[in-house]
Every structure is written in C-alpha cells, then in structure tokens.
Amino acid sequence: MNDLREGSSKPAETHRRSFFTTLAAALAGIFLLPRRLFSSEPARERLRRKWGMVIDLDKCTGCQACVVACRAENNVPVAGPAQTQNDRGIFWMDMLEVSEGSYPDLQRQLTPIPCNHCENAPCVKVCPVGATFINEEGIVAQVWARCIGCRYCTTACPYSRRYFNWQAPSWPETMKNQLNPDVATRPKGVVEKCTFCHHRIRRAREKARAEGRELADADVRTLPACAQACPAEAILFGDLGSPESEVSRLARSPRAMRLLEDLGTHPKVVYLREAKWKE
C-alpha cells in the first residue's frame, strides 16, 4: 500500500480528497434519485408523439375483422373453446356489447375496444417492477420478460383491457407456421395487451427515414392491423399530439367521446357517435 502511494504522483491527501468528493457526489445522486423514481410517466412535453386511435361507431359494421386481424398480427394464442368459455381467452382487440334502453326500445352498440393507452394509466402506476410503462410515444408498453405475473395491473385497469396467460400459449397445427416473426410470443404466467402495433410503427418510421422524410399522417393512418383490416375505415390511427393530424381533428368533433372519461385516466382511444347514449 505504502509503495503504491509513494509511486503515485499525487500525495495521499489528494487521494483522500478525491475519495470524499466521489462520496459526496454519490450521496447527492441518491438525493436526486427520488425525482426519477416518482416520474414513471414521461412528462407530456417529453413525448415525441402521442399515438392515438379514433373509432367511428357510426361507420363500424360490427364485422369483427379488426378482432381477427389483431390476433393474426400479434400472435395471440388460441385458448380453445373450453378455456374461452371459462373466460381465459385473449383478445387484444375485443368487441364490447353495450345494451341501451330496455325492451321494446332496445338497442345494442357493438364497440371495438383495444387498450386505451391512457395518459394517466392506472395499470402503470401499480406495477411493482416496471414491466409496464408509458414509452416516449405515449404507448402503454408491456415487457413480457420483466412481468412477474402478479396481475395487479389487470385488476387495476378499469377497462379490463389486459390479459393473463393462464397456460402455455398454443396454436392449432395449421397456424404454427403463420406466426408473425415481428412479434414475440409470450410465455405462460405473464400479462399481455394491445401495443398499438408498435412494431409496425417502427417499420414505418424506418421506411420514412430511408426515404429521407418525417413520418407523415398518411403513413400511419391505417397502420395498426385492426385499422388496416377495417372494411368501413372506421378505425383511424395517428398522432394526437399534433393538432393538425386527422385523428386530432376528429377528436375535437362534437361526436367524440372517450370511455369512462370521469375517471381521469385520459384514454387515447376516441370514439365517434352521432346519437346520444341511452341508459
């Protein structure tokens, strides 16, 4: 030890000082840490984009092409008839049947319902390990490799838009060679959900960059699998953060509403409907 110190160009005093400086810096770092810890949701101004979806219920025919397209695109496992009967089926995009009125004045509104990608997401707040978070484009993302399967997010979501893998995922033999290589399959015991097809967004951005331009509204208008499959063009996708985009314009229309708005979750899926909702 002594030899080393004598061999060094700096006296022992300097060593000690630098040690204390490092220590002080480390302590200061610990005090700065909580700010990072408490802001899991990126501040709005830090968001590069605010991807959102507009679903026009007046155009929707209830054909459920979006539900099927979503399954195929995202390698959603097939639970089988028995397990689906037991409410174990997984539907990133699902159809919610809203009954309105009562017989004889009874109506049913079929409502395609993906994840709402809430700006103030109740699921993100409760995750103990950060397996779900809001990324810099406003997407509520899920990291299968981090998820511990506690299912707190699934109970916290007021829209029931999160699904758990109750068993190992499986597909019928004929579908096994059709899995989408862009989307990872999920193991049993983790939670999964709609991602707004973020792998498609990434590909579209790479294409735009290769062509030397910014990602335009037209590139993403029907980008997610559900929007692409919709024969009525009832589902539109875009950047709710830029006021000129088509989705922003539609979201400002008097026909626009969001699900359970009074909870303050700020969903980024906007529904359009002319008629008033009946009890």
Partner 1 sequence: MERVEDLSFEAAAILSPLRHTRRRFYVAVAALLGIMAFAVYAYVQQFTRGLGETGMNRPIYWGMYIGNFVFFVSISLAGTLISAILRVVKAEWRRPITRCAELITVLSLIFAVVNIIVDMGRPDRLLYIAQHFRIQSPIVWDVISINSYLAASLIYLYLPMIPDLALLRDRPGRWRSLYRILSLGYEGTEKQHLWLERLTALIAILIIPIGISVHTVTAYLFATTLQPVWHSTIYGPFFVVGALYTGTAALIIIIAILRTSLRLRHVLKDVHFNNLGLVLMAEGLMVAYFLICIYLVEITGQEPHVLRVVLSEIQGPFALPFWGMVVLGILFPPFFLAFRKTRTVLGCVFASVLVVIAMWIERFLIVVPTLMHPRLPWPEGVYSPTWVEWSITAGCLAAFALLYMIFTKVFPVVSLWEIQEGMETAIPDVTERYKSYMPEKLGEEPV
Applying CB under 8 A, the residues found at the interface with partner 1 are 34, 37-38, 40, 83, 86-89, 96-99, 113, 122, 125-130, 146-152, 154-156, 158-160, 163-168, 188-191, 259-260, 263, 265
Query: Which stretches of 17-122 are assigned E, i.e. beta strand?
Result: 51-56, 94-100, 107-113
Specify the residue, 21 or 167, whose C-beta has the smaller distance to partner 1. 167
CB 105 within 8 A of CB 254: no
Report CA-CA distances (Å) from 79 to 1, 87, 113, 163, 164.
66, 9, 20, 12, 11
Q: For residues 167 and 89, what is the distance between their CA atoms, to the nearest angstrom? A: 11
3-state secondary structure of 113: strand
Diameter over CA atoms, the chain: 98
Q: What are phi and psi of 98, to 5 degrees?
A: -105, 115
State which residue, 101 or 231, has the beta carbon closest to partner 1. Answer: 101
Least Å from the CB of residue 101 to partner 1: 13
Q: Name the residue nearer to partner 1 (CB basis): 154 or 222.
A: 154
Please report the beta strands in 107-205, taking only residues with DSSP state E, as ranges in sequence order: 107-113, 132-134, 140-142, 163-164, 191-192
**In the complex with partner 1, which residue's Cβ is closer, 38 or 104?**
38
Considering the complex, what minimum distance in angstroms separates the CB of residue 270 from partner 1?
A: 16
CB of 238 to partner 1, least distance (A): 25
Which value, in Å, is the radius of gyration of the alpha carbons in the chain? Answer: 24
CB 40 within 8 A of CB 125: yes
Residue 162 C-beta: closest distance to partner 1, Å: 8
| Minimum distance from residue 64 beta carbon to partner 1 (Å) | 16
Are the C-beta atoms of residues 273 and 255 closer than 8 Å to each other? yes
Contact in structure between 135 and 101 (CB atoms under 8 Å): no
Closest to partner 1 by CB, 116 or 245: 116
Q: Within 10 Å of residue 170's Cβ, how many Cβ atoms?
A: 14
Choice between 19 and 277, CB closer to partner 1 = 277
Question: Which tokens belong to 130?
Answer: 């950060």
Q: Which residues pair with 141 in a beta bridge?
A: 133
Q: Which residue number, 80 or 221, has a Cβ lying nearer to partner 1? A: 80
To partner 1, the closest distance from the beta carbon of 128 in angstroms equals 4
- Smallest distance, partner 1 to C-beta of residue 264, A: 9
We find the least distance from the C-beta atom of residue 196 to partner 1, in angstroms, to be 20
How many other CB atoms are there within 10 angstroms of residue 18's CB atom?
A: 11
Q: Which residue, 49 or 162, has its beta carbon nearer to partner 1?
A: 162
